[in-house]
């Protein structure tokens, strides 16, 4: 900017020429300069004022808005969010379908030592060895007098032991709180629950992690604080599970079996009410897994899910049901059962000779291998494979346990004619008893696929229809006849219309071939036959029973009576009404009986939130 001079020479000279006073020009210029300076100062002051005013408006506005929100909001506890996170226990409870506790947490303490803070290390070591018999005084003394600054002594201990340690009065012995997983029912449902152990350990807390079963499968869910401590409700019924384990254990003893499996499942929902595998273990004190040898010898082995057994004649119903569905046969069709039958260089023969021809129903009732192979041949290999795949025999079950993928069925890679033939009567394809339960449930569910689950009350999509309802009903009817007049007469339970199929399969040798005197006998059943509600599988590993006719290993003499005992015991427990022919007279009440309302359970399980 060019500053205008106060006395511009040109104007002065001109003014002098005209005889005017040149000082007027200077005064005029001074005035203009002064006015410009004033304008500038005013603009600056106005700007500052506006800034100040907006600052005040903003500050008062903030206060006003805050007051408004405070006045209009609901009163809340300002610290509850932080506090409640501390209250919620680390790991949610697990309950059965009626809310009975299967797994919960207890607060206990761990013991650790700071040897450098100890007053009398030797005395403390001796006292500790006296309180905990499993500790060694000499080793503790060595640790305490060495150069260590920190050491764990006990992971968890009882309140009495804690008091005793406290009474030693040693400042170098310290306690840290621990949450401990407790399974109050001991052995019951041990394979389903699995077990738990400590993960990352700190002085003030330790992670509790599931190591197997449901505990591991739902580890993330159980530890998720977003669930607010809501328990995980399993489909298991504690009393049914306990009764099944008891009856199965005595059955296993009577049949001198090495192991046993029982599964009771609701057909409609696929919920597993009870699933037992014997021998079992105590999840409170989980044994170590076997490092060598056959894993199925360990009590940790869950036969129901992990076991891969050739399930024998229980498979025969699948080709027959499929043939009924494809309308290749009807229950009365005559099937050629001339035994033995030849496929290539292999010979397939029946348990005994049933003559030249049996009806399709009798093939199942008498359990004829040859008849089943003939029916499977009518179906063809591709359709047979496709049907077994739809029933779920080719994939591991999607059940909510970490062990589920290890129970993937052993399916032959190639299907020559002889494999197709042996698979039709349950040899050459090894699946878990739970696979069999799912497949039988599918047939008894009117042909609609059933997927087993361990979680109670979850809405799931309806299964695919893989068999016509008519064929499924006829198959169940054939299974009923197996019990009324066939190989499973010992499985009959009055009132519950048991329908089922026995299966005796020779155990394969690890070196190849089959044992002569070791079998896996299975009884797969659905009941009541007129309106199937439950499916039950009983599998005995290496059973044998000595009856009047000598030693017997067939499923009809071993698994079937055990299954009958279990059904007799469990059916009333699940609230199934027996079907009787007896007609009771209906008596008109002489007065309205007052029925007590169902008492509410006195112990309500509340979410630990």
Tally the C-alpha atoms within 13 A of residue 335's C-alpha that lie toward its C-beta: 31
Taking the complex as a whole, the smallest distance from the CB of residue 35 to another protein amounts, in Å, to 39
CB atoms inside a 10 Å sphere around CB 79: 8
Contact footprint for another protein (CB under 8 A): 77-80, 83-84, 86-87, 89, 100-101, 104-107, 182, 184-188, 238-239, 242-243, 246, 493-496, 568-569, 571-573, 577-578, 580, 584-587, 589-591, 593, 595, 603, 605-606, 608
What is the closest distance, in whole angstroms, from the C-beta atom of residue 587 to another protein in the complex? 5
Instruction: Report phi then psi at 225, rounded to 5.
Output: -65, -15
Question: 520 and 558 in contact (C-beta within 8 Å)?
Answer: no
As a 3-state breakdown, the chain gives helix, strand, coil percent values, each rounded to 5, of 40, 20, 40
Q: Which residues contact 385 (CB under 8 A, 6 or more apart)?
A: 415, 420
* Whole-angstrom distance, CA of residue 484 vs CA of residue 499: 8
Q: Which is nearer to another protein, 29 or 239 (CB)?
A: 239
- Closest CB 225 distance from another protein, rounded Å: 15
Shortest gap between Cβ of 303 and another protein (angstroms)?
A: 21
CB of 494 to another protein, least distance (A): 7
What is the nearest approach in angstroms of another protein to the Cβ of residue 601? 11
550/589 with CB nearer another protein: 589
CB-wise, 151 or 576, nearer to another protein? Answer: 576
- Choice between 329 and 483, CB closer to another protein: 483
C-beta separation of 553 from 521 below 8 A: yes
184 vs 398 by CB, closer to another protein: 184
Neighbours of 433 (CB within 10 A): 27
Residue 504 CB partners (closer than 8 Å, separation 6+):
312, 313, 519, 520, 521, 522, 553, 554, 555, 556
Residue 203 φ/ψ, nearest 5 degrees: -70, -40
Count the neighbouring beta carbons within 10 Å of the beta carbon of residue 122. Answer: 13
- Between 115 and 229, CB nearer to another protein: 229
* Ranges of H-type helices in 115-218: 121-131, 137-145, 159-168, 190-193, 213-217
CB of 81 to another protein, least distance (A): 11
Smaller CB distance to another protein: residue 239 or 377? 239
CB of 483 to another protein, least distance (A): 16
Q: Which two tokens stand for residue 92?
A: 């949610």
> Which of 102, 482 has the CB closer to another protein?
102
């Amino acid at each position: 900017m060019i500053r205008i001079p106060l006395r511009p020479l040109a104007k002065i000279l001109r003014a002098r020429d005209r005889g005017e006073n040149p000082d007027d020009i200077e005064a005029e210029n001074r005035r203009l300069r002064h006015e410009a300076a004033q304008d500038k100062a005013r603009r600056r002051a106005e700007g500052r004022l506006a800034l100040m005013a907006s600052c005040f408006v903003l500050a008062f506005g903030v206060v006003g808005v805050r007051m408004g929100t405070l006045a209009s909001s609901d009163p809340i506890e300002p610290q509850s969010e932080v506090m409640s996170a501390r209250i919620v226990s680390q790991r949610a409870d697990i309950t059965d379908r009626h809310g009975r506790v299967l797994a919960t947490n207890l607060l206990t303490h761990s013991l650790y030592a700071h040897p450098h803070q100890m007053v009398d290390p030797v005395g403390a070591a001796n006292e500790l060895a006296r309180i905990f018999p499993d500790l060694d005084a000499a080793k503790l003394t060595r640790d305490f007098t060495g150069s260590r600054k920190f050491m764990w002594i006990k992971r968890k201990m009882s309140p009495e032991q804690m008091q005793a340690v406290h009474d030693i009065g040693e400042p170098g012995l310290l306690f840290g709180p621990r949450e401990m997983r407790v399974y109050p029912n001991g052995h019951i449902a041990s394979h389903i629950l699995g077990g738990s152990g400590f993960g990352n350990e700190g002085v003030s807390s330790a992670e509790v992690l599931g190591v197997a079963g449901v505990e591991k499968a739902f580890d993330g869910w159980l530890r998720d604080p977003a669930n607010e401590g809501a328990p995980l409700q399993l489909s298991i019924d504690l009393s049914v599970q306990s009764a099944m384990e008891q009856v199965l254990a005595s059955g296993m003893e009577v049949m001198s079996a090495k192991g046993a499996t029982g599964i009771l499942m609701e057909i409609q929902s696929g919920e597993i009410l009870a699933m037992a595998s014997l021998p079992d273990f105590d999840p409170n004190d989980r044994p170590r897994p076997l490092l060598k040898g056959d894993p199925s010898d360990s009590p940790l082995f869950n036969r129901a899910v992990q076991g891969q057994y050739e399930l024998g004649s229980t498979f025969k119903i699948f080709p027959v049901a499929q043939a009924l569905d494809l309308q290749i046969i009807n229950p009365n069709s005559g099937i050629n059962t001339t035994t033995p039958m030849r496929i290539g260089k292999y010979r397939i023969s029946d348990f005994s000779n049933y003559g030249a021809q049996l009806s399709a129903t009798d093939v199942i009732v008498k359990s004829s291998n040859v008849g089943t192979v003939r029916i499977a041949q009518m179906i063809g290999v591709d359709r047979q494979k496709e049907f077994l795949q739809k029933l779920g025999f080719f994939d591991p079950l999607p059940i909510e346990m970490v062990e589920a993928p290890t129970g993937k069925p052993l399916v032959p890679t190639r299907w020559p004619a002889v494999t197709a033939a042996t698979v039709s009567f349950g040899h050459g394809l090894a699946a878990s008893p739970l696979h069999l339960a799912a497949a039988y449930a599918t047939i008894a569910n009117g042909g609609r696929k059933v997927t087993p689950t361990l979680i109670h009350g979850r809405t799931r999509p309806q299964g695919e229809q893989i068999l016509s309802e008519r064929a499924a009903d006829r198959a169940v009817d054939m299974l009923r006849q197996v019990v009324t007049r066939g190989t499973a007469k010992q499985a009959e339970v009055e009132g519950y219309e048991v329908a089922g199929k026995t299966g005796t399969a020779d155990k394969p040798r690890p070196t190849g071939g089959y044992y002569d005197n070791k079998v896996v006998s299975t009884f797969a059943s659905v009941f009541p036959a007129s309106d199937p509600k439950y499916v039950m599988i009983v599998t005995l590993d290496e059973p044998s029973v000595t009856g009047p006719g000598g030693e017997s290993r067939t499923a009809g003499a071993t698994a079937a009576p055990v299954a009958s005992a279990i059904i007799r015991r469990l059916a009333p427990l699940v609230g199934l009404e027996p079907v009787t022919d007896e007609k009771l007279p209906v008596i008109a009440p002489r007065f309205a009986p007052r029925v007590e309302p169902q008492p509410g359970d006195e112990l309500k399980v509340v979410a630990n939130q």
